[in-house]
Amino acid sequence: MDLENLKLLETKITKFLDRHEAVRREKDALAQRLKEKEQQFAQLSGQLKEYEQERKEMKSRLEKILGRLNGLDLP
C-alpha cells in the first residue's frame, strides 16, 4: 500500500467518523425532543381528563337545575 492510498483511506475513515458523530448527536437530540414531547403529552392528557371531569360535573349540575326549574310549572 503506497502513501497516497494510505492518505485516501485515512481521509475516508475521518469522514466516516465525522458523519457517525454527527448522526449520533442528531439521534441524541431527537431522543431528547421525543422525551419532552412525551412529557408534554402526559401533561396535556392529564389536563384533558380534568376538563372532561369538570364538564361532566357541570352537565350534571345544569341538568339538576333545569329539572328543578321544569318542576315549577312556570307558564
Instruction: Write out pLDDT tens, residues 48-69.
Output: 999 999 999 999 999 999 988 8
Residue-level pLDDT at 57: 98
Instruction: Write out pLDDT tens, residues 2-51.
Output: 889 999 999 999 999 999 999 999 999 999 999 999 999 999 999 999 99
Residue-level pLDDT at 70: 84
Residue-level pLDDT at 71: 82
Query: Is the pLDDT assigned to residue 75 strictly greater than 70?
Result: no
3-class SS letters over the chain: CCHHHHHHHHHHHHHHHHHHHHHHHHHHHHHHHHHHHHHHHHHHHHHHHHHHHHHHHHHHHHHHHHHHHHCCCCC
Q: Would you mind telling me the total number of residues written for the chain in this entry?
A: 75
Residues contacting residue 60 through CB under 8 Å, at least 6 positions apart: none
Instruction: Write out pLDDT tens, residues 11-25.
Output: 999 999 999 999 999
